[in-house]
């Protein structure tokens, strides 16, 4: 269970963006940093990216995804970042209260002085590109297939057609080939590659997997399981070219047709989204329009390399730490003003101790019961007197005041609360 | 030894399941068989989910009578079975002056059919009630008794209540032929053995013609599947809260823009007559037709926010209306035919079949009484089917109470729709067990959101395998032949 209900920096998601934000926040001075991850382990999608190509920018090394993640996981743990695994954030309020749920920890609320959104992105689906046909088993997004193969150790298909030349699609073409499946072809509706060229060379070319530009899927056949797809060539405006149709028998269609930033929580929190990126509008510290809510990585816009996501995460983590520490300093400067002996209430109810450094603070109050003799009005911190004044009487019908002066600052600074008493003389 | 029943119902759609539930009120053994791995796999699976008011069917048809009588029974049905039903009314929207006379025709039909609560609204009032509607709107028929529901929830709830009251449901059980004794049906042969029964009820939907032909009834009757395609929108992006019909045409009630009890706006259906009763494919031409139809009512819709497309088949029959003087050839069949004994025959129950279903079940009971059945109500009949918790519909406070009680409800498996492990496990072990991915999807609404199961599928496969005690390789999307996984990946040699 959690040690606290309020954290300096809370990070939603533990992919490259979230882990980098956690590390950076700690290094920038945030004391209590919490990462919330909905999966069983830290690392996000990096854990299923068992191919290499990670770390070339930051470490000048060519690492597989899990090794790249491990560097940040180790660093987070070393720095004392707290984590909640297998835990989902259901809602974020604009005031940075999080409603959180998990099997292990139950349902609870967490308050964040600063929040980093690092939920990543999701894959575009069959429905979004509206491929006609039946709705059998065997149509998967490339990332879902990747999870089945690399995490669950199960093959989602034997004879595969891949639509889209996104990176995950090309990487899965190679991965499935390694595992003994036959990848019939990769289709791309555009006249150019949507992923990295190195993936085309290393994943398709090296394995003789054909890539057809300006081609798409026209129809999915099969009632229970995919039995075939009908492919077609398209012109520059994506119109089907009649006569170019081909039926490709297969049991699986993988889709690698784009990623969309995952911003459902952001919207609830009042974060404004840029229609061009699908992610929040951010400033250079990756702060969104909602003060104290930061965002980094694929949740902001879709990156091609995890290294860039890490770098964006650093910025957000630093920004969030700075915001949180300023807020914390202000919280700590505020102390309650309590109603003591024969005092009904005092206004203001809290004061910022720092204000006393250069200005007076007048405390206004009413007494509970009338005293027609002289009284002593005293302000104290529970032990020591800070200020006092006398009055000829005290009546509930008449408001009283006592003023704290800059000369009281030294005493008030040490106090965790101050109390106003009205005592008989 | 063959099992012996009093009533066997062929078909686990909404009509069959509500008949099973209605018959389970009376003494006698009830069996419902369904050829697929789950209930509602046919017409009930893919329709507009509307409980029609009853102004649309031609007056004096059985369709009109069942629709209006059925509509009035939904409040009680929803109250007893605890499923979401909203009587939010519907509009038939006239666009341009030339469509206005159609509203008068419908209004007249509504009066003849006995539909309460209809009124014709002027264009500006329609715009006030639905701000997204086309500026060319000239008026609308407003039917206050129109409703929406989740047909899966209705069907499953009815079947569960039937089971609670002693009925049996057998899935993956396909009718082959009748067992006859002279002119009396005494049972059925299926792929899973023979079952004897005093009565067999044909609720086979798209396949009702096959079933009645096996009994030698109405050889001229033929179901022609009428395919309808649909678009579903992300509810975060598109919020049309009304049920909007265009004015009807000879192709049917036309392409709607409507909402669901889950809050998603949906568009559709078109109407294309096809031959293949299994062909529930979406098509390019169909999708274009729907888009044009929907944009006529709501011009501001954009395809960007579509999260799903699907298609369904309506079982359109060719039975002439029995009322003298009514020239109509696609009426419902609800009868005890004279040619054979022991057979209750339904056919052609297309739209408004969902709205009509409780009235159809009552009609079946009345027919059985007329045929001399006593229909004695069971002493211990319980009409109430309790609802199970739905995390996504709960307040944060109630969620906490639920998770405190059972921590499995704290683990969210579908993050778009906030469906929890607790809910999934409860459905796997429910009175009608959900043993396929689609069955869980239809009951919990998991996988219906913007990622369309991309995140939850591997997790649901794992939970199903664990709870059913089988290998993940055996887990299917919709029954045998639709397995998700083929084999383990290669072993790593040490």
Residue of B nearest to A158 (CA): B486
What residues pair up with A97 in beta bridges, in sequence order? A111
Domain range for A359 = 340-424
- Looking at A230, A257, A284, the residue that finishes a domain is A257
Record the tokens describing residue B236, joined without a space.
Answer: 């975060």
A147 to chain B, closest Cα gap in Å: 8
Residue of A nearest to B37 (CA): A224
Q: Does A279 touch chain B (CB under 8 A)?
A: no
- pLDDT, residue B451, reads 86
Of B307, B403, B488, the CB nearest to A154: B488
Q: Check whether residue A214 and residue A135 sit in a common domain.
A: yes
Q: What's the average model confidence in pLDDT over B427-433?
A: 96
B410 to chain A, closest Cα gap in Å: 4
Residues of B (152-191) whose Cβ lies below 8 Å from A: none
d(CA A199, CA A53): 9
pTM: 0.92
- pLDDT, residue B457, reads 96
d(CA B464, CA B271): 37
Q: Check whether residue A238 and residue A253 sit in a common domain.
A: yes
B461 to chain A, closest Cα gap in Å: 10
Residues in CB range of B466: below 8 A, 6 or more apart: none
Q: Does A41 touch chain B (CB under 8 A)?
A: no
pLDDT higher than threshold 80 for residue B491 = no
Q: Please check whether residue A94 lies inside any domain of the structure.
A: yes
Rounded CA Rg of chain A = 31
Q: What is the pLDDT of residues B341-395, one digit of tens each?
A: 999 999 999 999 999 999 999 999 999 999 999 999 999 999 999 999 999 999 9
Q: At B395, is the secondary structure helix, strand, or coil?
A: coil
Q: Judge: A137–B489 Cβ closer than 8 Å, yes or no.
A: no
Q: Check whether residue A370 and residue A319 sit in a common domain.
A: no
Q: Please check whether residue A322 lies inside any domain of the structure.
A: yes
Residues of A (358-417) whose Cβ lies below 8 Å from B: none
Contact yes or no for B230/B37 (Cβ under 8 A): no
Q: Check whether residue A147 and residue A174 sit in a common domain.
A: yes
- pLDDT, residue B237, reads 79
Residue from B416, B396, B418 nearest A109 by CA: B396
Contact yes or no for A345/A365 (Cβ under 8 A): yes
Q: Judge: A107–B404 Cβ closer than 8 Å, yes or no.
A: yes
Q: What's the average model confidence in pLDDT over B198-214?
A: 98
d(CA B170, CA B73): 27
Q: Check whether residue A203 and residue A239 sit in a common domain.
A: yes
Q: Please check whether residue A36 lies inside any domain of the structure.
A: yes
pLDDT band at A391 (very low <50, low <70, confident <90, very high): very high
Q: What's the average model confidence in pLDDT over A221-227?
A: 96
Rounded CA Rg of chain B = 23
Q: Check whether residue A409 and residue A314 sit in a common domain.
A: no
d(CA A184, CA A246): 12
pLDDT higher than threshold 80 for residue A93 = yes
- pLDDT, residue B493, reads 62
pLDDT band at A1 (very low <50, low <70, confident <90, very high): low
d(CA B19, CA B24): 8
* Biggest CA pair distance of chain A: 107
Contact yes or no for B70/B355 (Cβ under 8 A): yes
- pLDDT, residue A347, reads 97
CA angle (A356, A361, A362) in 5-degree steps: 165
Contact yes or no for A116/A12 (Cβ under 8 A): yes
- Looking at A257, A285, A304, the residue that finishes a domain is A257
Of B310, B396, B411, the CB nearest to A86: B411
Of A147, A151, A267, the CB nearest to B236: A267
Q: Check whether residue A395 and residue A287 sit in a common domain.
A: no
Q: What's the average model confidence in pLDDT over B83-93?
A: 96
Instruction: Give B-chain residues touching A107 at CB under 8 angstroms.
Output: 396, 399-400, 402-404, 410
Which residue out of B52, B213, B262, B429 is catalytically annotated?
B52
Q: Check whether residue A133 and residue A251 sit in a common domain.
A: yes
Q: Judge: A224–B480 Cβ closer than 8 Å, yes or no.
A: yes
Three-state SS across chain A?
A: CCCCCEEEEEEECCCHHHHHHHHHHHHCCCCCEEEECCCCCCCHHHHHCCCCCECCCCCCCCECHHHHHHHHHHHHHHHCCEEECCEEEEEECCCCEEEEEECCCEEEEEEEEEEEECCCEEECCHHHHCCCECCCECEEEHHHHHHHHHCCCEECCCEEEEECCCHHHHHHHHHHHHCCCEEEEEEECCCCCCCCHHHHHHHHHHHCCCEEECEEEEEEECCCECCEEEEEEECCCCCECCCCCEEEECCEEEECCCEEECCHHHHHCCCCECCCCCCECCCCCCECCCCCEEECHHHCCCCCCHHHHHHHHHHHHHHHHHHHHHHHHHHHHEEEEEECCCEEEEECCEEEHHHHHCCCEEEEEEECCCECCCEEEEEECCCCEEEEEEECCECCCCCEEEEECHHHHHHHHHCCCEEEEEEEC
d(CA B490, CA A47): 19
More confident residue, A274 or B454: A274
A251 to chain B, closest Cα gap in Å: 10
Q: Does B397 touch chain A (CB under 8 A)?
A: no
d(CA B311, CA B313): 7
Q: Please check whether residue A1 lies inside any domain of the structure.
A: no
Q: Please check whether residue A85 lies inside any domain of the structure.
A: yes
CATH number of the domain residue A275 falls in: 3.50.50.60
Which ranges in B97-195 belong to alpha helices (H)?
A: 100-113, 123-129, 151-164
d(CA B71, CA B57): 13
Q: Please check whether residue A210 lies inside any domain of the structure.
A: yes
pLDDT band at B401 (very low <50, low <70, confident <90, very high): very high
Q: Check whether residue A178 and residue A79 sit in a common domain.
A: no
Instruction: Give B-chain residues touching A264 at CB under 8 angstroms.
Output: 236, 416
Contact yes or no for B95/B246 (Cβ under 8 A): yes
pLDDT higher than threshold 80 for residue A2 = no
Residue from B415, B439, B449 whose CB has the most chain A CBs within 10 Å, to mutate: B415
Give the number of other CB atoms < 10 A from CB of residue B132: 18
- pLDDT, residue B466, reads 98
Pairing of strands A293-295, A211-213: unpaired
pLDDT higher than threshold 70 for residue A49 = yes
Q: Judge: B407–A106 Cβ closer than 8 Å, yes or no.
A: yes
Q: Check whether residue A35 and residue A92 sit in a common domain.
A: yes
* Residue-range domain boundaries for chain B: 3-45+151-223+318-370, 85-148+229-311, 391-474
Instruction: Give A-chain residues touching B280 at CB under 8 angstroms.
Output: 134-135
Residue with tokens 């004391």: A31
Indicate the DSSP class of residue B357.
Answer: H
**Cβ-based contacts under 8 A for chains A and B:** 150
d(CA B229, CA B294): 12
What's the mean per-residue pLDDT of chain A? 96
Q: What's the average model confidence in pLDDT over B461-476?
A: 97
Q: How many CA atoms lie within 13 A of A369 on its CB side?
A: 4
What residues pair up with A254 in beta bridges, in sequence order? A140, A162
Q: Check whether residue A303 and residue A321 sit in a common domain.
A: yes
Q: Does B488 touch chain A (CB under 8 A)?
A: yes
pLDDT higher than threshold 70 for residue A325 = yes
ipTM of the complex: 0.91
Contact yes or no for A97/A110 (Cβ under 8 A): yes
User: Which fold would CATH assign to domain B3-45+151-223+318-370?
Assistant: FAD/NAD(P)-binding domain (3.50.50)
Contact yes or no for B257/B298 (Cβ under 8 A): yes
Count of structural domains, chain A: 3
Instruction: Give A-chain residues touching B418 at CB under 8 angstroms.
Output: 90
- Looking at A280, A298, A331, the residue that finishes a domain is A331
CA distances from B153 to A290, B40, B256 (A): 40, 10, 22
Q: Judge: A106–B403 Cβ closer than 8 Å, yes or no.
A: yes
B18 to chain A, closest Cα gap in Å: 27
d(CA B120, CA A223): 44
Residues in CB range of B316: below 8 A, 6 or more apart: B223, B224, B225, B226, B273, B330, B348, B350
B262 is catalytic: no
Helix axes B437-444, B421-428, angle to 10 degrees: 120
pLDDT higher than threshold 90 for residue B490 = no
Peptide bond into A235 cis (omega under 30): no
A250 to chain B, closest Cα gap in Å: 13
- pLDDT, residue B33, reads 98
Residue with tokens 């070219």: A241
CATH of B85-148+229-311, one of 1.10.10.10, 3.30.9.10, 3.90.1150.10, 3.30.70.20: 3.30.9.10
Q: Check whether residue A116 and residue A167 sit in a common domain.
A: no
Q: Judge: A156–B486 Cβ closer than 8 Å, yes or no.
A: yes
Instruction: Give B-chain residues touching A169 at CB under 8 angstroms.
Output: none
Indicate the DSSP class of residue B436.
Answer: S
Contact yes or no for B68/B54 (Cβ under 8 A): yes
pLDDT band at A3 (very low <50, low <70, confident <90, very high): confident
Residue of B nearest to A107 (CA): B400
Question: Does domain B391-474 sit in CATH 1.10.287?
Answer: no
Q: Does B472 touch chain A (CB under 8 A)?
A: yes
pLDDT higher than threshold 90 for residue A217 = yes
Instruction: Give B-chain residues touching A134 at CB under 8 angstroms.
Output: 279-281
pLDDT higher than threshold 80 for residue A400 = yes
Pairing of strands A106-117, B343-347: unpaired
pLDDT band at A247 (very low <50, low <70, confident <90, very high): very high
Q: Judge: A224–B421 Cβ closer than 8 Å, yes or no.
A: no
Residue of A nearest to B436 (CA): A137
d(CA B78, CA B147): 11
What's the mean per-residue pLDDT of chain B? 95
Instruction: Give B-chain residues touching A267 at CB under 8 angstroms.
Output: 236
Residue with tokens 């006609």: A132
């Amino acid at each position: 269970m959690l040690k606290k209900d309020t954290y300096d920096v809370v990070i939603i998601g533990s992919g490259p963006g979230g882990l980098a934000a956690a590390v950076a926040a700690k290094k920038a001075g945030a004391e209590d940093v919490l990462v919330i991850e909905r999966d069983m382990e830290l690392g996000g999608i990096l854990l299923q990216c068992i191919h290499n190509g990670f770390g070339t920018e930051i470490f000048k090394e060519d690492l597989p995804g899990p090794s790249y993640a491990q560097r940040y996981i180790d660093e987070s743990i070393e720095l004392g970042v707290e984590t909640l695994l297998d835990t989902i954030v259901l809602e974020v309020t604009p005031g940075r209260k999080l409603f959180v749920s998990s099997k292990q920890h139950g349902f609870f609320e967490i308050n964040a002085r600063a929040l980093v959104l690092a939920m990543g992105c999701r894959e575009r689906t069959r429905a979004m590109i509206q491929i006609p046909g039946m709705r059998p088993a065997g149509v998967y997004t490339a990332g879902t297939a990747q999870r089945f193969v690399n995490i669950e150790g199960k093959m989602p298909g034997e004879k595969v057609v891949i639509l889209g030349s996104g990176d995950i699609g090309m990487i899965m073409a190679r991965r499935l080939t390694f595992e003994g499946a036959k990848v019939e072809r990769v289709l791309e509706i555009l006249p150019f590659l949507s992923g990295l060229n190195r993936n085309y060379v290393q994943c398709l070319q090296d394995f003789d997997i054909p890539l057809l530009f300006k081609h798409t899927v026209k129809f999915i056949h099969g009632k229970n399981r995919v039995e075939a797809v009908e492919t077609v060539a398209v012109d520059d405006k994506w119109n089907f070219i009649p006569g170019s149709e081909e039926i490709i028998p297969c049991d699986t269609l993988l889709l690698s047709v784009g990623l969309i930033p995952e911003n459902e929580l952001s919207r609830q929190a009042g974060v404004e989204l840029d229609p061009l990126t699908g992610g929040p509008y951010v400033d250079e510290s990756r702060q969104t329009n909602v003060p104290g809510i930061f965002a980094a990585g694929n949740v902001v816009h879709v990156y091609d390399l995890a290294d860039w996501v890490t770098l964006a995460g650093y910025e957000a983590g630093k920004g969030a730490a700075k915001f949180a520490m300023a807020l914390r300093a202000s919280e700590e400067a505020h102390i309650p003003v309590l109603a003591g002996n024969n005092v009904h209430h005092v206004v203001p109810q809290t004061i910022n101790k720092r204000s006393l450094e250069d200005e007076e603070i007048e405390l206004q109050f009413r007494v509970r019961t009338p005293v027609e003799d002289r009284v002593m009005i005293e302000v104290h911190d529970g032990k020591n007197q800070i200020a006092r004044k006398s009055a000829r009487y005290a009546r509930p019908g008449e408001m009283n005041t006592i003023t704290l002066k800059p000369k009281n600052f030294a005493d008030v600074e040490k106090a965790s609360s101050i109390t106003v008493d009205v005592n008989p003389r | 030894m063959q099992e012996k029943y009093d009533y066997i119902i062929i078909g686990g759609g909404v009509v069959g399941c509500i008949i099973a539930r209605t018959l389970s009120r009376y003494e006698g053994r009830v069996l419902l068989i369904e050829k697929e791995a789950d209930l509602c796999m046919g017409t009930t699976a893919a329709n507009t989910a509307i409980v029609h008011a009853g102004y649309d069917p031609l007056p004096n048809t059985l369709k009109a009578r069942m629709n209006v009588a059925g509509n009035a029974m939904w409040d009680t049905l929803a109250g007893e079975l605890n499923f979401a039903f909203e009587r939010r009314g519907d509009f038939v929207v006239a666009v341009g002056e030339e469509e206005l006379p159609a509203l008068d025709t419908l209004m007249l039909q509504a009066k003849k059919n006995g539909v309460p609560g209809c009124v014709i609204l002027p264009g500006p009032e329609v715009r006030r009630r639905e701000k997204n509607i086309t500026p060319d709107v000239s008026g609308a028929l407003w039917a206050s008794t129109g409703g929406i529901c989740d047909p899966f929830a209705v069907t499953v709830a009815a079947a569960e209540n039937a089971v609670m009251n002693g009925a049996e449901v057998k899935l993956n059980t396909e009718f082959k032929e009748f067992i006859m004794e002279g002119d009396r049906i005494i049972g059925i042969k299926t792929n899973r053995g023979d079952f004897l029964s005093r009565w067999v009820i044909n609720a086979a939907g798209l396949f009702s013609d096959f079933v009645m032909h096996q009994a030698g009834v109405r050889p001229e009757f033929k179901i022609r599947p009428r395919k309808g395609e649909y678009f579903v929108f992300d509810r975060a992006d598109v919020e049309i809260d009304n049920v909007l019909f265009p004015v009807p045409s000879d192709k049917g009630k036309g392409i709607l823009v409507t909402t669901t009890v889950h809050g998603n706006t949906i568009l559709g259906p078109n109407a294309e007559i096809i031959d293949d009763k299994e062909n529930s494919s979406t098509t390019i031409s169909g999708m274009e037709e729907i888009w044009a139809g929907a944009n006529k009512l709501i011009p501001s819709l954009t395809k960007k926010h579509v999260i799903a497309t699907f298609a369904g088949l309506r079982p359109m029959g060719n039975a002439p209306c029995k009322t003298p003087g009514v020239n109509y050839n696609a009426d419902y069949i609800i009868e005890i035919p004279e040619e054979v004994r022991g057979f209750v025959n339904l056919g052609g129950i297309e739209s408004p079949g969902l709205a009509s279903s409780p009235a159809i079940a009552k009609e079946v009971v009345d027919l059985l009484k007329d045929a001399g059945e006593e229909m004695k109500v069971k002493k211990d009949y319980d009409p109430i089917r309790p609802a199970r918790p739905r995390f996504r519909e709960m307040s944060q406070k109630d969620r906490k109470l639920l998770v405190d009680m059972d921590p499995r409800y704290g683990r969210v498996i579908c993050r778009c729709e906030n469906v929890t492990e607790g809910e999934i496990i409860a459905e796997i072990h429910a009175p009608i067990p959900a043993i396929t991915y689609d069955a869980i999807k239809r009951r919990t609404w998991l996988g219906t959101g913007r990622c369309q199961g991309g995140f939850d599928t591997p997790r649901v496969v794992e939970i199903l395998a664990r709870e059913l005690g089988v290998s993940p390789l055996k887990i299917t999307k919709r029954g045998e032949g639709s397995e998700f996984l083929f084999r383990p990946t290669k072993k790593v040699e040490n």
